[in-house]
Amino acid sequence: MKYATLIWAGLWRKKARTILTMLSILIAFLLFGLLQGINQGIKSGLSDTRNNRLWSVNHMSAVSSMAVSDMTRMQTVKGVRKVAHMSFFGGYFQDAKNAIPAFATNIDNFAAVYPELRITPAQLAAMDTTRDGALIGRPLAEKYAWKVGDKIPLGTSIWTKKEGGNSWEFNIVGIYDATPDFSRGPLGSGFWINYDYWDEARLYDPHRVHQFIIQIDDPSKAAAISAAIDKLFENSTEETKTQPENAALQARLKQLADINFIANSIVGAVMFTLLFLTANTMMQSVRERIPELAVLKTLGFSGRRVSALVIAESLLLCLFAALAGLVLSMGAIKVIGSVFGPGRLPEAVFVEGLLIAVALAIVSGLPPALRAQRLNIVDALAER
């Protein structure tokens, strides 16, 4: 610690350069925290081994419908506890820009399959007695200032009513508060309507659904049960594709973008560039201080001690800025990370970030440190 003043003073010898370098490192680690945080968040969310849900869709594509009666056959497979289904309504409120994540479902089963939504028995009873009822998530209600009792008209470009027109009106009978993790996700902001009411009222594709969600007893048997369900519909006109919810989500996400590849590529490129930037700063800083380092050696500082001071300075520069960047990313990820991940920076990413900062400091500090160590005092004092 007694060298702290010496190291700190050396770091701030050129204030503007140090601040700019620190800002570069800070922004790089902010980006690292955001990208890796979201990436790891998705990964850890999708690798939850406790998840006991399977998703089953039409083998042709996720938007092709299947007979609702398939649910009864799925229920017969050993290990299946409960089956829910959902169909995409594709609604919007007032303007097509205000898309509403509305789905038709058998709400009793759906609430059982997704206990994380914390739908109450009273809300289920209200849905049961109100055919055109809708249950909505708290974030959605807050966004549009909707409350229980409101009648909400939703437009849709997909579903025409038998009586004509594409405007549907739903009566809000309940607002549910999902668990914090779910509340930030799409299901936490859902707009759930009664399948039976919607199925009777729509003009075409009756008695069909887009997806089944199957709750099973034992998550470790997910693969076997998925295969058994698909076997049921093998060689039929509507073969199914069943897989654990995590795998299905991952596959859908990959259709949008390979987050892992993108995150790693960007972070890799940024860190590589940062290495040169920091190394250049350290080299320049040491080059300017050759006579000062020679004086330290003259006064009795050994080559190793002088090089340790340079490495310590590099560590201070990188760790200080990286820590600030990671702390900022923790805040930022709370805001934007909720769309993709768990809304918090995983500890592993934080630790990984600090380890990268240490490696960056050592690699970029090593060449100037070696130069300082090998410095010939007589030549340096004579400025040769």
Cβ-based nearer residue to another protein, 285 or 329 = 285
Scan residues 364-383 and list those touching another protein (CB under 8 A).
377-378, 381
Listed in sequence order, the residues at least 6 apart from 152 whose beta carbon sits closer than 8 Å to its beta carbon are 93, 134, 146, 169, 170, 171, 172
Question: Cα separation of 322 and 316, whole Å?
Answer: 10
With contacts defined by CB under 8 A, how many residues of the chain interact with another protein?
Answer: 24
**Contact stretch for another protein (CB under 8 A) within 195-203, 258-266, 294-302, 350-358:** 294-302
Contacts of another protein in 302-321 (CB under 8 A): 302-305
Segment near another protein (CB under 8 A); pick from 7-15, 54-62, 72-80, 143-151: 7-15
Other Cβ atoms less than 10 A from the Cβ of 96: the count is 11
> Does residue 16 touch another protein according to CB under 8 A?
no
| Window contacting another protein (CB under 8 A); options: 183-191, 222-230, 297-305, 352-360 | 297-305
Which residue of 3, 158, 169, 205 would you call a contact of another protein, by CB under 8 A?
3
Q: Residue 46: name the closest of 177, 176, 181, 241 by CA.
A: 181
Beta-sheet pairing, 102-105 with 191-194: parallel
Asked if residues 273 and 358 have their Cβ atoms less than 8 Å apart, the reply is: no
Q: Which of 13, 78, 162, 231 binds another protein (CB under 8 A)?
A: 13
Minimum distance from residue 376 beta carbon to another protein (Å): 9
List CB contacts of 164: < 8 A, sequence separation 6 or more: none
Q: What contacts 267, CB < 8 A, 6 or more positions away?
A: 31, 32, 35, 36
> Which residue number, 347 or 383, has a Cβ lying nearer to another protein?
383
Q: How far is the CB of 24 from another protein (least distance, A)?
A: 22
Candidate residues 213, 297, 330, 345; the one interacting with another protein per rule CB under 8 A = 297
| One of 75, 76, 167, 298 touching another protein (CB under 8 A) | 298
Q: Give the contacts of 192 (CB within 8 A, at least 6 positions apart).
A: 102, 103, 104, 105, 107, 110, 127, 134, 135, 136
Q: Is residue 273 involved in binding another protein (CB under 8 A)?
A: no
Applying CB under 8 A, which residues contact another protein?
Answer: 2-3, 5-6, 9-10, 12-13, 291-292, 295-305, 377-378, 381
